[in-house]
C-alpha cells in the first residue's frame, strides 16, 4: 500500500476525514509542511499494535544478541526441569 500523504493544512480543514482514513485503513497518514515531511498521525489501535510489535521485536533481538554472545538458551522442557529442581531445593532447605 502506498503511503497516504496530505499537507498539514488538510488536517486543520478536514480532521474528521483524515481521522477516518486512519481508523478504516489502519495506516498512518503523513503530513507535510512546505512540501517536506513533518508529522505522522495514526489511530490509537494502530499505534498500540505497532508498539506491541516493536516491544516483541526488541525482545527477540535481545535474545538473538545474547545467543550470538554465547549465552546458553534453554528449551521449555529444560526450563521446567530447572524450576522443579529449584523448587525442590528450596522446599528441602526450608523444612
Task: Give the 3-state secondary structure of 19-78.
Answer: HHHHHHHCCCEEEEECCEEEEEECCHHHHHHHHHHHHHHHHHHHHHHHHHCCCCCCCHHH
pLDDT by position in tens, the chain (length 95) = 788 999 999 988 999 999 999 999 999 999 999 999 999 999 999 999 999 999 999 999 998 898 889 887 788 999 999 999 999 988 887 65
What are the residue ranges spanned by the domains of the chain? 1-42, 44-95
State which fold the 1-42 domain adopts.
Answer: YefM-like fold (3.40.1620)
Q: Evaluate if pTM is beyond 0.85.
A: no
Amino acid at each position: 500500500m502506498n503511503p497516504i500523504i496530505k499537507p498539514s493544512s488538510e488536517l486543520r480543514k478536514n480532521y474528521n476525514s483524515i481521522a477516518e482514513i486512519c481508523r478504516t485503513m489502519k495506516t498512518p497518514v503523513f503530513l507535510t509542511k512546505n512540501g517536506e515531511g513533518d508529522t505522522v498521525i495514526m489511530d490509537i489501535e494502530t499505534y498500540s499494535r505497532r508498539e506491541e510489535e516493536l516491544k516483541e521485536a526488541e525482545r527477540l533481538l535481545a535474545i538473538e544478541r545474547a545467543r550470538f554472545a554465547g549465552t546458553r538458551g534453554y528449551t521449555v522442557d529444560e526450563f521446567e526441569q530447572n524450576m522443579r529442581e529449584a523448587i525442590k531445593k528450596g522446599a528441602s532447605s526450608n523444612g
